[in-house]
Amino acid sequence: MQLCFFARELQWEQLIVLNFTVMNKTNDLRSLGRTDMMLTPIGLGAWQFSKQKNMAGKFWPTLEDDLIDKVVTLSLEGGINWFDTAEIYGNGASEIALSKALQKAGKKPGDLLIATKWWPMFRFASNISKTIDERIKNLTPYPIDLYQVHQPWGFSNEKQEMMAMAKLIERKLIKHIGVSNFSAEKMKNAWETLDKKGIPLASNQVSYSLLNRKIESNGIMEMAKKLGISIIAYSPLAQGMVTGKFHDNPELMKNIGFRKYSAQFKRKGMEKSRPLTRLVKELALKYESTPSQIALNWLINFHGNTVVAIPGATKETHAKENTRTMSFKLSDEDMAKLDMASAIFK
């Protein structure tokens, strides 16, 4: 397809809109782990729908219902077929907002897939069965396709938590089981516990991006591939740092909340990542795309079908940009260049 302009002459948001409306979608589905749950490589993370209801929710500004509805609708129109939320996201506010938006979009149960998470802090595994009714109520009429243990921080160990999760499958209250932020060892323990009951551990949701490749050096990625567990990448754009927008305009960091205190947003961290962001922007021009699409495209393709990603969206353009990621694929040569440029972040 030929575009009748030079990408250099357009603002990124203009390019997003054009690509969203004219590019052919190639949303090949892939299975989540060794389950029958077939996902698009890109889903939508819904943490930003928290309405500032609790401490976790205050990470994001309050999004009005109309904007949430538009973000969800545009994600669906762009081909995304799954959404990830959690109990801790506004004490269920995100789950409720997501369900309402999907209903307004005219989606019926079975038209899409929902993943949510149980919050384990200061709780025992027995709490999993005690709180599942609230998760179901918040997401009604949509079933829970993937239920995840959000952190390895509970009073019970991962084996006890997996046994509690397995009971929910037996009661047909959830369809599949995942974990989040689990180490390679804890992930293996969870897998072994479920395997004895004939249930696959579908996924491990972890922070993973071109600027955070630690799961490739700490054993998580290797173990996931060995056991057939999918990686769900959250913070796939390193909170926006990988796009280079903060390098180009440091003034943007005045309004980014707690993020500005992390090491990658400090001067030394930004200088370390500058060469990579420069390459990302060069490839964006080459592919008539945007920096975030390049970063996401590498993420979902470099390891074959192992990794799926859940970027968020607080603007309509973000939703369009996310879905456009699935309409092209970086060449092996360009993926290798990104691999080399980001190897220092393993």
List CB contacts of 126: < 8 A, sequence separation 6 or more.
Answer: 156, 164
- Name the token pair of 55: 């401490």
Short-list 52, 39, 31, CA closest to 114 = 39
Q: Which residues of 179-202 are buried (b: 16+ CB within 10 A; e: fewer)?
A: bbbbbbebbbbbbebbeeeebbbb
List CB contacts of 7: < 8 A, sequence separation 6 or more.
Answer: 15, 284, 285, 288
Phi and psi, residue 66, nearest 5°: -60, -40
Is 147 catalytic? The answer is no
The catalytic residue among 89, 142, 208, 287 is 89
Active site residue ranges: 89
